[in-house]
Chains A and B, each alone.
Chain A
Amino acid sequence: MKKMYLFIALAFILAGCSGNWGWYVVNPTTEGGFVNLKFLMSGLYYTILTSLVAIAISILIGLVVALPALSKNKYLRGINRFYVEIVRAIPILVLILWVYYGLPQVAGITIDVFWAGVIALALSDSAFEAEIFRAGIQSVDKGQYEASHTISLNYIDTMRFVILPQAIRRVLPALGNQLVYMLKMSSLVSVIGMEELTRKANELVVTEYRPLEVYTILVLEYLILILLVSAAVRRLEKKMNTGN
């Protein structure tokens, strides 16, 4: 970790020395630079909001899709396989474009940029969430179902109070991973015009003609955001383990 910070600092120092860089565009001590910097960071709101809403929806869909995979009924298992295989095969960018431009025509609805982005991200991630939940649920010992059976719990109560709390604890690192992945993938919704970090950077590049500096700031924005999220997920894991 320390090495990485050192590396970043070194990159800055060297960059400042080089004549090809024009840090003035994002220099917070000048008025123009400060305004530009603020403009770049204003995308943070939509990046975070999109990612959080999308991950919440994708976890819910993932859970609903994962449950039939554990059924003894082969048709239910088939539904799960069908969904996972199809959704997993569509590139995220393609799905975003299709949901924004295609879905309104097919379904006869209007859909704004935010929800188009969220739905596309959530759908594409849900297949992976489903696989994570399936693995987590399958890792819970068969004896837990049998014990639930002997105390007369029905299927929903067995899942809710016995199996899922144990399964979720086990897949928490994987869920954290998906959240990080989601934050990165949210940059793709810039193509349909959502005003998130990447879109803001693109807009600034067009007016300032300094892609190197602007995109470097963009890299740093994602880097800091994701390092913070990783740290938070790790703390949550620790907290949940102490209760076990």
Chain B
Amino acid sequence: MSSNINNQIICVEKISKFFGSFQALKDVSLSVNIGQRIVICGPSGSGKSTLIRCINGLEQQQGGKIIVDGIVLNDSLDSLTKIKSRVGMVFQQFNLFPHLSVMDNLTLGPMRSKKLSKIDAEALAMKYLERVRIPEQASKFPSQLSGGQQQRVAIARSLCMEPAIMLFDEPTSALDPEMIKEVLDVMSELANDGMTMICVTHETGFARGVADTMVFMDGGEIVETAEPEKFFTKPETRRCQDFLDKILHH
């Protein structure tokens, strides 16, 4: 992948990751530019989630190097703290805090780690709740919301930290079909506003419409990287072709 160094915000160089004797990542390299929108797909167990979890330090890689926004991710708490504050993440299972209201879910991060006052944090939270189009749910608890609404709250919670990069780990996989669109719409809007994004998803419509780069992973390796049009119509590798056949034709 060619990339302008000045524009580069994430640089992953030859990282590996083992879970016991199982190798989840094998010398994976990935470069992301500011504003780039990458969709990663591939069969389950191919290392997609592990890769993006390494980028924000949720998993520690063995070997290789990760640089996020100029900060080298290493064992020091300081580098991890800095990287955490620049990278937002949305999970398949939402992971909202069930004992806190929507508003408190959103303000906790800004108030505790950015030391914002309650008033400022609430203003920030309302701004992002409006952006994900559920300002009226601010006082409710997560369990009172639908899955799609919960995931939008989770997106807003990440945005409240004003990250430079957003990671999405299969954000629509746990949702009922009729709720997938509302979440994808919010993600598309975010992309249009210029957010740098890496999404692990199998939503091909979203990938075609929003991604500028498709990454196909299999067996812990990046097998193919291409523009969406080329990726979906003329995949180069056999493995990628087989995978697309399975997910595109039922």
Contact = CB atoms under 8 A, between A and B. Distances in A.
A complexed with B? yes
B91 A153 contact: no
Interface residues of B, number: 29
Nearest to A161: B108
Interface string A151-188: 11110010001100110010000000000000000000
A227 B8 CA distance: 67
Interface string A112-156: 000000000000000000000000000001011011011111100
Interface stretch (B29-37, B64-72, B93-101): B93-101
Given A143-B93, A244-B99, A150 B88 contact: yes
Contacts of B56: 149-150
A150 B158 contact: yes
B211 interface: no
Contacts, number: 68
A65 B51 CA distance: 35
B240 to A, nearest CB: 30
B113 interface: yes
Contact of B99 (A149, A150, A151, A166): A166
A73 to B, nearest CB: 14
22 contacts: A141-B93, A141-B95, A143-B93, A143-B95, A146-B89, A147-B91, A147-B97, A149-B56, A150-B56, A150-B58, A150-B87, A150-B161, A151-B160, A152-B81, A152-B85, A153-B108, A153-B113, A166-B99, A169-B99, A244-B99, A244-B141, A244-B143
Nearest to B167: A150
A146 B95 contact: yes
A154 B97 CA distance: 16
